[in-house]
């Protein structure tokens, strides 16, 4: 039987603090005071009989018990949101919302075709597509703010409570503008890499470990002149207007390369290959519109890979 002392505010506050890893940030987003957040968490811990957070440097992190409770608290909030959405949809006649997190590697290459196919089905569903770093999207998926994340498979320690369906594999490339000096082949790319600005994936991105290992394996422990970014619009504009080198997943720049706007340096990066696919919560039951969208994503991915 559910303890009557556990209220909605306990779950909402706990999940938000877990997402933000900060009482201060959670209080701002919940529009309550910091002491109110602290009091709510203490009440929850009294009910559970264990601590759900512990200090880590200047911040906080989930305890082992907190990680266990987060999976269920997130699922509970998701179920409640879905219930509220369902009632609202029944009253308004709208289809159920489908909320997708798309990593940059699929945002330009797979999702446009998938959405074209999906819209032809005329489900009436409202669609929301957001993009960003994998860690952020997975956290939104975990707490129920997203229904599906499309992109590279995350590290094993981040996949607890998630399932993954593999669609295809892709690798990282070193993209440059057409006519870049290193495309001539007269200079060693690795010997002259530090002579140019380099755009690197951020430390929170999935491909960063692959990139770092690849560079180290080729005698480059670090790059003094680099910029970290997950913005494909900035990366595309900066590389096309300079001699910068963009280390990025193939999918992000595939269309630019096909159109001749960008080119890839002659480097074998096959060891950076990784799986791309669909990530969902293991306890989630896809709605009909979501199931249809997942199928159109599969079809779009299959058609795209058939061209390469």
CATH number at residue 238: 3.40.190.290
Could you identify the residue written with the tokens 């470990």? Answer: 209
In a domain, 259, yes or no: yes
CA angle 104, 105, 108 (to 5 degrees): 75
Task: Look up the CATH number of the domain holding residue 155.
Answer: 3.40.190.10
Q: What parts of the chain have a pLDDT lower than 50? A: none
Q: Which of 19, 43, 76 is the last residue of a domain?
A: 76
Q: Could you tell me if residue 49 is left (phi over 0), alpha (psi between -120 and 50 degrees) or otherwise beta?
A: left
Contacts of 118 (CB under 8 A, 6+ apart): 127, 292, 293, 296
- In this structure, the answer to whether residues 269 and 183 fall within a common structural domain is yes
Q: Where are the beta strands (DSSP E) in the chain?
A: 53-56, 59-62, 98-102, 127-130, 148-152, 162-170, 172-177, 198-200, 226-228, 245-249, 262-264, 274-281
pTM above 0.85, yes or no: no
3-state helix, strand, coil in the chain (%, to 5): 50, 20, 30
Write down the pLDDT at residue 87.
Answer: 64
27: domain CATH number? 1.10.10.10
SS (H, E, C) 85-114: HHHHHHHHCCCCCEEEEECHHHHCCCHHHH
Q: With contact defined as beta carbons under 8 Å apart, do 211 and 269 qualify? A: no
**Alpha-helical segments (H) within 161-287:** 189-192, 208-217, 232-240, 250-258
The answer to whether residues 158 and 176 belong to one domain is: no
Assess if residue 1 is contained within a domain. Answer: no
Residue 89 lies inside a defined structural domain of this protein: no
264 and 196 within one domain = yes
- Nearest to 132, CA basis, from 43, 221, 57, 229: 229
Residue 188's CB is within 10 A of a number of other CB atoms, namely 9
Q: Is residue 81 part of a domain?
A: no
Q: What is the pLDDT of residue 248?
A: 94
Question: What is the span of the domain harbouring residue 119?
Answer: 94-168+274-306
| Same domain as 125, residue 36 | no
Mean of per-residue pLDDT scores for the chain: 88
Whether residues 269 and 175 share a domain: the answer is yes
- Helix (H, G, I), strand (E, B), or coil: what is residue 57? coil
279 and 156 in one domain?
yes
């Amino acid at each position: 039987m559910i303890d009557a002392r556990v209220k909605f505010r306990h779950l909402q506050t706990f999940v938000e603090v877990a997402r933000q890893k900060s009482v201060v940030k959670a209080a701002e987003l919940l529009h309550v005071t910091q002491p109110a957040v602290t009091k709510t968490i203490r009440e929850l811990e009294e009910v559970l009989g264990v601590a759900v957070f512990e200090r880590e440097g200047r911040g906080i992190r989930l305890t082992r018990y907190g990680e266990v409770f987060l999976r269920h608290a997130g699922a509970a909030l998701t179920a409640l949101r879905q219930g509220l959405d369902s009632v609202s949809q029944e009253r308004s006649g709208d289809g159920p919302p489908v909320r997708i997190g798309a990593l940059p590697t699929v945002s330009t290459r797979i999702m446009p075709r998938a959405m074209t196919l999906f819209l032809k089905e005329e489900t009436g569903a409202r669609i929301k597509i957001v993009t960003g770093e994998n860690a952020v999207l997975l956290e939104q998926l975990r707490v129920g703010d997203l229904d599906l994340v499309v992109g590279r498979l995350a590290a094993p320690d981040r996949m607890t409570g998630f399932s993954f369906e593999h669609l295809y594999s892709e690798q990282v490339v070193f993209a440059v503008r057409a006519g870049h000096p290193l495309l001539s082949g007269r200079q060693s790319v690795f010997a002259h890499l530090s002579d140019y600005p380099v755009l690197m994936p951020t430390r929170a991105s999935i491909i960063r470990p692959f990139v770092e290992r690849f560079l180290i394996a080729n005698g480059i422990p670090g790059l003094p002149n680099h910029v970290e970014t997950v913005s494909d619009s900035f990366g595309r504009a900066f590389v096309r207007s300079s001699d910068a080198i963009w280390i990025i997943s193939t999918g992000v720049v595939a269309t630019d390369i096909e159109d001749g706007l960008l080119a890839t340096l002659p480097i074998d990066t096959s060891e950076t290959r990784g799986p791309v696919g669909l990530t969902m919560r293991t306890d989630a039951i896809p709605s009909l519109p979501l199931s249809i969208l997942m199928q159109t994503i599969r079809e779009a991915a299959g058609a795209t890979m058939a061209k390469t």
